[in-house]
Amino acid sequence: DAGVIQSPRHEVTEMGQEVTLRCKPISGHDYLFWYRQTMMRGLELLIYFNNNVPIDDSGMPEDRFSAKMPNASFSTLKIQPSEPRDSAVYFCASRPARANYGYTFGSGTRLTVV
């Protein structure tokens, strides 16, 4: 199993540009989570999906952020337009239906908005 795969690993973009982060969860996992990690705020849950359906997006900071999960093997997190304060590491994680398995995290995407 290749684990949770995120791309790109690093992204540098100019303020105002659209940014799309990608995630492939582990096959058979029913839940997918998007987190943001910064020094100031630590780990923040942005949104999570259950069987491709968004369940809770209350952590999405503002309308510039959107996430989709068109099928069980792919999810995107989009920021449009991007701002310097969006600079962070974005993690995707997935887990099976049973909560006692815990999450498996991807390696993250380090986003820098200049």
Minimum distance of another protein from residue 79's CB (angstroms): 20
Query: Binders of another protein: how many residues, by CB under 8 A?
Result: 23
* Contacts (CB under 8 A) with another protein, residues 17-46: 31, 33, 42-43, 45
Cβ count near 96 (within 10 Å): 14
Find the Cα–Cα–Cα–Cα dihedral 15, 66, 35, 88, rounded to 10°: 0
| Token reading at 72 | 């069980």
CA distance 85 to 53: 28
Instruction: Confirm or reject binding of residue 7 to another protein (CB under 8 A).
Output: no
**Contact pick of 19, 69, 91, 113 for another protein (by CB under 8 A):** 91
CB of 4 vs another protein, minimal distance in Å: 8
Task: Judge whether 39 and 103 are in contact, CB under 8 Å.
Answer: no
Kindly list the residues in this chain that would bind another protein in the complex (CB under 8 A).
Answer: 4, 31, 33, 42-43, 45, 48, 50, 55, 91, 93, 97-100, 102-108, 110
